A and B are shown apart, each in its own frame.
Chain A
């Protein structure tokens, strides 16, 4: 049974620890993909504590920019060396800022957006062809990726093949480079779109760990592929951020970084 037990308080704590690691990784650069880690913190905490079994399941981080959150999460359970996190984004580091083939702790990641769901579907199909009915495939995706046509090709493909071992964790943070996703392209109704493509859908508050836990548990028992649409914000869990922070690429000058670290350390104390 793939569902892993974890108390809600433990999941919340994991999410804040992930945020703290991400702040420390971005701070030396003064800017970076911190918003993605802030918005997906509870989603990834739920994945790592309540579902994902490294070595058994496959993990795809579709938007390579989210790899910071994966590294930070993986470090919490010893899959990435904590000291190595300090090299994130620097020259010759194995932890590149946008995920690549060299990135540890994931089975696949893509810097070019929208490729990950096809890859996850391929993994799920390969597992089926090879007779492995235990492995689950988790695809971390973002709402901005829903603008890419390939993602919907993949959604149709997975729906057609009833890839019930496939779970998409969609961080719907309404953030992309040019502004709020909703100001660039109308994606709603997101859940209805996936449902129409043959998916089991859960449209929830992506910072509510109880709702996330219930959704993941339901997804693991679904008879079709599942998508958990996690409604999130790129500023959640870090009150010191200014209200106009650019969620896609947050500026974190030294003073703000110190305040951010102090806030998160206090909460984790």
Chain B
């Protein structure tokens, strides 16, 4: 695992999909008028005969994908997370999930990583996808996991919702990397607090663990790229060994990672103070930059540190979080 600031790469997912599709003729690629933005311009260029423009018609695109899957093809469907989930929910349920078809729905630009305002900010996509029976839901942390996700999901028998960051993708993990669909990934060991995070909150979770560690609070950081089926046993093992639990997600605290952890702890009868970092049942707003929104809506390293401090019942001043200098092409936690 690297240290921040992280180097970034472009189109790790799009490259991996082309590599996979070159060997697997049943893979077809659909795009809802966001081809370059979803990294599948590479697919369109290399394998045009299996690239299908859905246009700005997500409902139709999902039902078409379901029918393609019924005929033995493996459709990967691409658009932004908001349009992949909100608009065609009925189609995902009836044309894809209920028949348990192997359609891979790939939603880019998660949470407030888009400064484009509520219409473009997928803040409840995990919640509504998680509620669909049989849907696998994945929110990966970096370029290495984006690439690994393609191999991990291509042969799953049922549908998948894969949530991916758009644009410059940080490289956090070392390769080769296996993305487990069964287990969570314990990134650091600790016995005071568990910080359980997914997707774009992993850098902030690791940074918070550094700050807390320096203040004498040891932190177990757990990466849960798979929100469903949720890796309960691993999360419980870690939670049993700490005094408090913090979840961190680039999503509403309702229905996503925070809810999954709360359900897991409560069902096991394991009582631990729990703080959920994420959007607090609010829409965000349009802005110039995403980091501003991460700070404004409580998704920063500082918020994770403060949540841990609160969960532990500490009343002394919260440790300060140093600003990390970042140069162009690098990615650092907010």
Q: Are A111 and B63 in touch, CB under 8 angstroms? A: no
Q: Are A150 and B65 in touch, CB under 8 angstroms? A: no
Contacts A/B (CB < 8 Å), 5 sampled: A112-B90, A118-B91, A149-B59, A154-B60, A157-B60
Given A101-B98, A112-B94, A129-B50, check contact A118 B60 (CB 8 Å).
yes
What is the 8 Å Cβ interface bit string for chain A, positions 37-50, against chain B (1 contact, 0 not)?
Answer: 00000000000000
What is the 8 Å Cβ interface bit string for chain B, positions 88-115, against chain A (1 contact, 0 not)?
Answer: 0011011100110000000000000000
- Is A108 part of the contact surface with B, judged by Cβ < 8 Å? yes
Q: Are A115 and B71 in touch, CB under 8 angstroms? A: no
Chain B residues, Cβ within 8 Å of A150: 57, 59-60, 63, 91
What is the 8 Å Cβ interface bit string for chain A, positions 155-173, against chain B (1 contact, 0 not)?
Answer: 0110000000000000000
Chain B residues, Cβ within 8 Å of A101: 98-99
List the A residue with the shortest CB-CB distance to B95: A115
Chain B residues, Cβ within 8 Å of A156: 55, 57, 60
Query: In the complex, A123→B75 CA distance in Å?
Result: 13
Query: In the complex, A110→B93 CA distance in Å?
Result: 11
Chain B residues, Cβ within 8 Å of A153: 57, 59-60
Given A115-B63, A118-B91, A122-B63, check contact A108 B98 (CB 8 Å).
no
A181 to chain B, nearest CB (A): 21
- Shortest 8 CB-CB contacts between residues of A and residues of B: A122-B67, A118-B63, A126-B71, A153-B60, A153-B57, A122-B64, A150-B59, A119-B67
Given A130-B71, A149-B59, A153-B59, check contact A119 B90 (CB 8 Å).
no
- Is A125 part of the contact surface with B, judged by Cβ < 8 Å? yes
Q: Are A122 and B90 in touch, CB under 8 angstroms? A: no
- Is A127 part of the contact surface with B, judged by Cβ < 8 Å? yes
- Is A121 part of the contact surface with B, judged by Cβ < 8 Å? yes
- Is A107 part of the contact surface with B, judged by Cβ < 8 Å? yes
- Is A120 part of the contact surface with B, judged by Cβ < 8 Å? yes
B119 to chain A, nearest CB (A): 18
Q: Is the interface of B mostly helix, strand, loop or mixed?
A: helix
Query: In the complex, A159→B57 CA distance in Å?
Result: 14
- Is B66 part of the contact surface with A, judged by Cβ < 8 Å? yes
Q: Are A118 and B95 in touch, CB under 8 angstroms? A: yes
Given A129-B28, A150-B91, check contact A119 B66 (CB 8 Å).
yes
Query: In the complex, A108→B63 CA distance in Å?
Result: 11
B133 to chain A, nearest CB (A): 12
Which has the most chain A C-beta neighbours within 10 Å: B66, B71, B98? B71
Question: For window 90-135 of chain A, which residues contact chain B by CB distance below 8 Å?
Answer: 101, 107-108, 110-112, 115, 118-123, 125-127, 129-130
Chain A residues, Cβ within 8 Å of B292: none
Name the contact of A123 in the complex, choosing from B57, B59, B67, B94 (C-beta under 8 A). B67
- Is B132 part of the contact surface with A, judged by Cβ < 8 Å? no
Query: In the complex, A1→B52 CA distance in Å?
Result: 29
Number of interface residues of B (CB under 8 A): 27
Q: Are B63 and A154 in touch, CB under 8 angstroms? A: yes
List the B residue with the shortest CB-CB distance to A114: B59
A125 to chain B, nearest CB (A): 7
Chain A residues, Cβ within 8 Å of B54: 157
What is the 8 Å Cβ interface bit string for chain B, positions 27-58, against chain A (1 contact, 0 not)?
Answer: 01000000000000000000001101011010
A114 to chain B, nearest CB (A): 8
Chain B residues, Cβ within 8 Å of A126: 67-68, 70-73
Query: In the complex, A107→B91 CA distance in Å?
Result: 17
Q: Are B91 and A115 in touch, CB under 8 angstroms? A: yes
Chain A residues, Cβ within 8 Å of B49: 129
Chain A residues, Cβ within 8 Å of B70: 107-108, 122-123, 126
Given A125-B64, A150-B60, A154-B63, check contact A119 B95 (CB 8 Å).
yes
Chain B residues, Cβ within 8 Å of A125: 52, 64, 67-68
List the B residue with the shortest CB-CB distance to A120: B67
Query: In the complex, A224→B181 CA distance in Å?
Result: 44
B56 to chain A, nearest CB (A): 9
Chain A residues, Cβ within 8 Å of B68: 122, 125-126, 129
Query: In the complex, A207→B62 CA distance in Å?
Result: 34
Query: In the complex, A120→B66 CA distance in Å?
Result: 10
Query: In the complex, A149→B56 CA distance in Å?
Result: 12
Query: In the complex, A119→B66 CA distance in Å?
Result: 7
Query: In the complex, A154→B61 CA distance in Å?
Result: 8
Q: A118-B62, A126-B68, A153-B59 given. 18 additional CB < 8 A pairs?
A: A101-B99, A108-B70, A112-B90, A115-B94, A118-B59, A118-B95, A119-B67, A121-B64, A123-B67, A126-B67, A126-B70, A126-B72, A126-B73, A129-B49, A130-B72, A150-B57, A154-B64, A157-B60
